[in-house]
Amino acid sequence: MATFKEFRNNVKPNWCPGCGDFSVQAAIQRAAANVGLEPESLAVISGIGCSGRISGYINAYGLHGIHGRALPIAQGVKLANRELTVIASGGDGDGFAIGMGHTVHAIRRNLDITYIVMDNQIYGLTKGQTSPRSAEGFKTKSTPEGSIESTLSPLEIAMSAGATFVAQSFSTDLKQLTLLIEEGLKHKGFSLINVFSPCVTFNKVNTYDWFKENIVNLEQFPDYDPTNRIAAMNKIMETNGMLTGLIYQNKERKSYEDLVVGFQEKGLANQDLTLSPEHFDKLVAEFK
Protein backbone atom coordinates (compact mmCIF):
# COMPACT_ATOMS: atom_id res chain seq x y z
CA MET A 1 0.00 0.00 0.00
CA ALA A 2 1.32 3.43 -0.97
CA THR A 3 2.45 5.91 1.65
CA PHE A 4 1.77 9.65 1.40
CA LYS A 5 5.40 10.15 0.30
CA GLU A 6 4.65 8.13 -2.84
CA PHE A 7 2.10 10.76 -3.83
CA ARG A 8 4.88 13.35 -3.92
CA ASN A 9 6.80 14.23 -7.06
CA ASN A 10 9.85 16.35 -7.83
CA VAL A 11 7.87 19.42 -8.91
CA LYS A 12 8.29 22.21 -6.38
CA PRO A 13 5.13 24.33 -5.86
CA ASN A 14 5.53 27.99 -6.76
CA TRP A 15 2.82 29.20 -4.40
CA CYS A 16 3.63 32.17 -2.21
CA PRO A 17 5.23 31.22 1.14
CA GLY A 18 2.41 30.83 3.64
CA CYS A 19 -0.29 30.02 1.06
CA GLY A 20 -2.98 27.73 2.44
CA ASP A 21 -2.80 25.56 -0.68
CA PHE A 22 0.33 23.84 0.64
CA SER A 23 -1.75 22.26 3.39
CA VAL A 24 -4.48 21.23 0.96
CA GLN A 25 -1.90 19.45 -1.17
CA ALA A 26 -0.50 17.65 1.88
CA ALA A 27 -4.00 16.66 3.03
CA ILE A 28 -4.85 15.17 -0.37
CA GLN A 29 -1.64 13.14 -0.37
CA ARG A 30 -2.19 11.89 3.17
CA ALA A 31 -5.86 11.09 2.56
CA ALA A 32 -5.10 9.19 -0.65
CA ALA A 33 -2.60 7.03 1.20
CA ASN A 34 -4.85 6.55 4.22
CA VAL A 35 -7.74 5.17 2.13
CA GLY A 36 -5.43 2.73 0.38
CA LEU A 37 -5.02 4.34 -3.03
CA GLU A 38 -2.02 3.94 -5.32
CA PRO A 39 -0.73 6.83 -7.47
CA GLU A 40 -1.93 5.05 -10.61
CA SER A 41 -5.46 4.72 -9.21
CA LEU A 42 -5.91 8.46 -8.59
CA ALA A 43 -6.63 11.27 -11.06
CA VAL A 44 -6.48 14.94 -10.00
CA ILE A 45 -8.17 17.37 -12.38
CA SER A 46 -7.76 21.08 -11.78
CA GLY A 47 -8.87 24.37 -13.27
CA ILE A 48 -7.13 27.73 -13.59
CA GLY A 49 -5.83 29.85 -10.74
CA CYS A 50 -3.16 29.43 -8.10
CA SER A 51 -5.05 26.36 -6.86
CA GLY A 52 -5.18 24.96 -10.38
CA ARG A 53 -1.49 24.18 -10.21
CA ILE A 54 -2.12 21.46 -7.63
CA SER A 55 -2.63 18.70 -10.21
CA GLY A 56 1.02 19.04 -11.22
CA TYR A 57 2.32 18.75 -7.67
CA ILE A 58 0.83 15.34 -6.86
CA ASN A 59 2.21 12.04 -8.10
CA ALA A 60 -0.93 10.72 -9.79
CA TYR A 61 -2.69 11.11 -13.10
CA GLY A 62 -3.28 14.83 -13.51
CA LEU A 63 -4.72 17.37 -15.89
CA HIS A 64 -4.49 21.15 -15.60
CA GLY A 65 -7.63 22.23 -17.43
CA ILE A 66 -9.07 25.61 -18.33
CA HIS A 67 -10.86 28.18 -16.21
CA GLY A 68 -14.04 26.83 -14.64
CA ARG A 69 -13.93 23.54 -16.52
CA ALA A 70 -12.33 21.14 -14.05
CA LEU A 71 -15.64 19.45 -13.26
CA PRO A 72 -16.69 18.59 -16.85
CA ILE A 73 -13.28 17.02 -17.41
CA ALA A 74 -13.34 15.19 -14.08
CA GLN A 75 -16.80 13.79 -14.81
CA GLY A 76 -15.62 12.63 -18.22
CA VAL A 77 -12.64 10.88 -16.68
CA LYS A 78 -14.86 9.12 -14.15
CA LEU A 79 -17.38 8.02 -16.76
CA ALA A 80 -14.63 6.68 -19.01
CA ASN A 81 -12.94 4.82 -16.17
CA ARG A 82 -14.95 4.37 -13.00
CA GLU A 83 -12.10 2.31 -11.58
CA LEU A 84 -10.18 5.56 -11.01
CA THR A 85 -10.66 7.68 -7.92
CA VAL A 86 -11.18 11.20 -9.26
CA ILE A 87 -10.51 14.47 -7.45
CA ALA A 88 -11.44 17.80 -9.04
CA SER A 89 -9.88 20.92 -7.56
CA GLY A 90 -9.86 24.66 -8.05
CA GLY A 91 -10.41 27.99 -6.37
CA ASP A 92 -13.53 29.94 -5.46
CA GLY A 93 -13.27 32.01 -8.63
CA ASP A 94 -12.84 28.87 -10.73
CA GLY A 95 -15.69 26.92 -9.17
CA PHE A 96 -18.12 29.60 -8.02
CA ALA A 97 -17.84 32.16 -10.85
CA ILE A 98 -17.16 31.01 -14.41
CA GLY A 99 -17.60 27.37 -13.40
CA MET A 100 -20.66 27.73 -11.18
CA GLY A 101 -23.03 26.22 -13.73
CA HIS A 102 -20.86 23.12 -13.90
CA THR A 103 -20.65 22.97 -10.11
CA VAL A 104 -24.42 23.02 -9.61
CA HIS A 105 -25.08 20.34 -12.23
CA ALA A 106 -22.24 18.14 -11.02
CA ILE A 107 -23.73 18.31 -7.53
CA ARG A 108 -27.22 17.34 -8.64
CA ARG A 109 -25.85 14.67 -11.00
CA ASN A 110 -24.04 13.01 -8.09
CA LEU A 111 -21.16 11.32 -9.88
CA ASP A 112 -18.71 9.59 -7.58
CA ILE A 113 -16.01 12.28 -7.53
CA THR A 114 -14.59 14.59 -4.86
CA TYR A 115 -14.45 18.34 -5.50
CA ILE A 116 -12.01 20.30 -3.33
CA VAL A 117 -12.30 24.08 -3.54
CA MET A 118 -9.52 26.27 -2.16
CA ASP A 119 -11.49 29.31 -1.04
CA ASN A 120 -9.34 32.42 -0.51
CA GLN A 121 -12.16 34.89 -1.27
CA ILE A 122 -10.14 36.71 -3.92
CA TYR A 123 -8.64 36.22 -7.37
CA GLY A 124 -5.02 35.61 -6.45
CA LEU A 125 -3.39 34.53 -9.71
CA THR A 126 -4.53 37.69 -11.52
CA LYS A 127 -3.19 39.89 -8.72
CA GLY A 128 -6.13 40.50 -6.40
CA GLN A 129 -9.59 41.14 -7.80
CA THR A 130 -12.96 40.56 -6.14
CA SER A 131 -14.30 37.00 -6.34
CA PRO A 132 -17.87 35.75 -5.77
CA ARG A 133 -16.78 34.92 -2.23
CA SER A 134 -15.58 38.42 -1.37
CA ALA A 135 -17.60 40.22 1.30
CA GLU A 136 -19.66 43.34 0.68
CA GLY A 137 -17.44 46.39 1.02
CA PHE A 138 -14.33 44.36 0.14
CA LYS A 139 -11.81 46.68 -1.55
CA THR A 140 -9.66 45.34 -4.38
CA LYS A 141 -8.21 46.61 -7.64
CA SER A 142 -11.51 45.85 -9.33
CA THR A 143 -13.62 47.36 -6.52
CA PRO A 144 -11.61 50.31 -5.15
CA GLU A 145 -14.73 51.76 -3.48
CA GLY A 146 -15.69 48.39 -1.99
CA SER A 147 -17.76 45.57 -3.46
CA ILE A 148 -21.49 46.26 -3.68
CA GLU A 149 -22.37 42.64 -4.43
CA SER A 150 -23.51 40.13 -1.83
CA THR A 151 -21.29 37.20 -0.98
CA LEU A 152 -22.15 33.90 -2.61
CA SER A 153 -22.81 31.01 -0.20
CA PRO A 154 -21.54 27.80 -1.82
CA LEU A 155 -22.72 25.63 1.06
CA GLU A 156 -26.31 26.85 0.80
CA ILE A 157 -26.23 26.41 -2.97
CA ALA A 158 -24.83 22.89 -2.64
CA MET A 159 -27.54 21.91 -0.19
CA SER A 160 -30.23 23.41 -2.41
CA ALA A 161 -28.88 21.53 -5.42
CA GLY A 162 -29.27 18.20 -3.64
CA ALA A 163 -25.70 17.54 -2.52
CA THR A 164 -25.05 14.20 -0.82
CA PHE A 165 -21.79 15.21 0.87
CA VAL A 166 -20.93 18.73 2.03
CA ALA A 167 -17.94 19.57 4.21
CA GLN A 168 -15.77 22.56 4.98
CA SER A 169 -12.40 22.97 6.64
CA PHE A 170 -9.55 25.39 7.29
CA SER A 171 -6.12 24.83 5.77
CA THR A 172 -4.36 25.07 9.15
CA ASP A 173 -6.39 22.16 10.53
CA LEU A 174 -4.52 19.45 8.64
CA LYS A 175 -5.94 16.63 10.76
CA GLN A 176 -9.57 17.61 10.17
CA LEU A 177 -8.99 18.41 6.50
CA THR A 178 -7.31 15.06 5.88
CA LEU A 179 -10.16 13.19 7.59
CA LEU A 180 -12.79 15.07 5.57
CA ILE A 181 -11.02 14.30 2.30
CA GLU A 182 -10.81 10.65 3.34
CA GLU A 183 -14.55 10.60 3.99
CA GLY A 184 -15.18 12.40 0.70
CA LEU A 185 -13.12 9.83 -1.21
CA LYS A 186 -15.02 6.98 0.44
CA HIS A 187 -18.43 8.57 -0.16
CA LYS A 188 -20.34 6.98 -3.05
CA GLY A 189 -21.45 10.15 -4.81
CA PHE A 190 -20.39 13.76 -5.32
CA SER A 191 -18.43 15.20 -2.41
CA LEU A 192 -17.97 18.96 -2.05
CA ILE A 193 -15.21 20.04 0.33
CA ASN A 194 -14.73 23.79 0.60
CA VAL A 195 -11.46 24.79 2.24
CA PHE A 196 -10.64 28.21 3.68
CA SER A 197 -7.19 28.70 2.18
CA PRO A 198 -5.93 32.24 2.89
CA CYS A 199 -4.13 34.27 0.23
CA VAL A 200 -1.28 35.88 2.13
CA THR A 201 -0.27 38.17 -0.74
CA PHE A 202 -3.46 39.89 -1.90
CA ASN A 203 -6.11 39.29 0.77
CA LYS A 204 -5.19 41.30 3.85
CA VAL A 205 -8.68 41.00 5.35
CA ASN A 206 -9.47 37.27 5.41
CA THR A 207 -6.21 36.35 7.08
CA TYR A 208 -5.31 33.30 9.17
CA ASP A 209 -6.09 35.25 12.32
CA TRP A 210 -9.41 36.44 10.91
CA PHE A 211 -10.49 32.89 10.12
CA LYS A 212 -9.43 31.63 13.55
CA GLU A 213 -11.61 34.30 15.16
CA ASN A 214 -14.67 33.62 12.99
CA ILE A 215 -14.71 29.88 12.32
CA VAL A 216 -17.23 27.71 14.17
CA ASN A 217 -16.09 24.09 14.41
CA LEU A 218 -18.91 21.55 14.41
CA GLU A 219 -17.00 19.60 17.03
CA GLN A 220 -18.42 22.16 19.48
CA PHE A 221 -21.85 20.60 18.94
CA PRO A 222 -21.68 16.92 20.03
CA ASP A 223 -25.37 16.40 19.23
CA TYR A 224 -25.09 17.71 15.68
CA ASP A 225 -26.46 15.20 13.15
CA PRO A 226 -24.89 15.49 9.65
CA THR A 227 -27.63 13.28 8.19
CA ASN A 228 -30.31 15.88 8.99
CA ARG A 229 -30.61 18.07 5.89
CA ILE A 230 -32.76 20.74 7.51
CA ALA A 231 -30.47 20.99 10.53
CA ALA A 232 -27.47 21.26 8.21
CA MET A 233 -29.00 24.14 6.26
CA ASN A 234 -30.00 25.89 9.49
CA LYS A 235 -26.49 25.56 10.90
CA ILE A 236 -24.99 26.97 7.69
CA MET A 237 -27.23 30.02 7.91
CA GLU A 238 -26.78 30.44 11.69
CA THR A 239 -23.00 30.62 11.28
CA ASN A 240 -23.05 32.62 8.04
CA GLY A 241 -21.31 29.71 6.35
CA MET A 242 -18.29 29.89 8.66
CA LEU A 243 -18.60 26.38 10.08
CA THR A 244 -16.07 23.57 9.61
CA GLY A 245 -16.48 19.82 9.70
CA LEU A 246 -18.78 17.31 8.03
CA ILE A 247 -21.90 19.38 7.46
CA TYR A 248 -24.13 16.94 5.59
CA GLN A 249 -24.00 13.41 4.19
CA ASN A 250 -26.66 11.32 2.52
CA LYS A 251 -25.58 7.70 2.05
CA GLU A 252 -28.95 6.55 0.76
CA ARG A 253 -29.00 8.26 -2.63
CA LYS A 254 -27.30 6.25 -5.38
CA SER A 255 -24.48 7.71 -7.45
CA TYR A 256 -25.00 8.59 -11.10
CA GLU A 257 -22.93 5.62 -12.21
CA ASP A 258 -25.07 3.17 -10.26
CA LEU A 259 -28.21 4.54 -11.91
CA VAL A 260 -26.99 4.20 -15.51
CA VAL A 261 -28.41 0.97 -16.95
CA GLY A 262 -25.66 -1.36 -18.15
CA PHE A 263 -22.79 0.84 -16.98
CA GLN A 264 -19.90 -1.59 -16.50
CA GLU A 265 -17.60 -1.62 -13.49
CA LYS A 266 -14.59 -1.92 -15.78
CA GLY A 267 -13.18 1.22 -17.32
CA LEU A 268 -13.15 1.58 -21.10
CA ALA A 269 -9.42 0.88 -21.14
CA ASN A 270 -10.05 -2.56 -19.65
CA GLN A 271 -13.06 -3.50 -21.77
CA ASP A 272 -13.10 -5.46 -25.00
CA LEU A 273 -14.45 -2.84 -27.40
CA THR A 274 -14.13 -5.02 -30.49
CA LEU A 275 -17.26 -4.89 -32.67
CA SER A 276 -18.38 -7.96 -34.53
CA PRO A 277 -19.00 -7.48 -38.28
CA GLU A 278 -22.70 -8.04 -37.67
CA HIS A 279 -22.88 -5.38 -34.95
CA PHE A 280 -20.89 -2.94 -37.08
CA ASP A 281 -23.18 -3.44 -40.06
CA LYS A 282 -26.22 -2.93 -37.82
CA LEU A 283 -24.84 0.38 -36.54
CA VAL A 284 -24.01 1.60 -40.04
CA ALA A 285 -27.45 0.64 -41.28
CA GLU A 286 -29.02 3.07 -38.83
CA PHE A 287 -27.53 5.98 -40.79
CA LYS A 288 -28.66 4.84 -44.24
Domain hosting 32: range is: 4-285
- CA–CA distance, 59 with 220 (Å, rounded to integer): 36
With CA atoms as reference, report the closest residue to 247 among 172, 152, 171, 183.
183
Q: Is the pLDDT of residue 268 over 90?
A: no
Q: How many domains does the chain have?
A: 1
Q: Output the CA–CA distances (angstroms, integers) from residue 51 to 93, 174, 197, in the order listed.
A: 10, 17, 10
Strand ranges in 47-113 using DSSP code E only, listed in sequence order: 61-64, 85-91
How far, CA to CA in Å, does 66 sit from each of 46, 92, 194?
A: 8, 14, 20
Give tens-digit pLDDT for 143-188: 999 999 999 999 999 999 999 999 999 999 999 999 999 999 999 9
Q: Report the Cα–Cα distance between both ends of the chain, in Å, rounded.
A: 53
What's the rounded Cα separation, in Å, for the pair 90 and 46?
6
pTM here? 0.94
Taking only the tens place, the pLDDT of each residue in 81-118 is 999 999 999 999 999 999 999 999 999 999 999 999 99
Higher pLDDT, 274 or 239: 239
What burial class does residue 126 get, using C-beta atoms within 10 Å of its C-beta: 0-12 exposed, 13-18 middle, 19+ buried?
middle
- 3-class secondary-structure state, position 124: coil
DSSP 39: G
> pLDDT tens digit string along 21-74?
999 999 999 999 999 999 999 999 999 889 999 999 999 999 999 988 999 999
| Mean pLDDT of all residues belonging to the chain | 95
Amino acid code (one letter) for 45: I
List pLDDT tens digits, range 220-237.
999 999 999 999 999 999
Q: Which residues contact 123 (CB under 8 A, 6 or more apart)?
A: 49, 93, 129, 130, 131
Contact 236, 163 (CB under 8 A): no
The DSSP code for 188 is: S
CATH code, 39: 3.40.50.970
The CA R_g of the chain, rounded to the nearest whole Å, is 20
How far does Cα 229 stand from its chain's mean position? Answer: 20
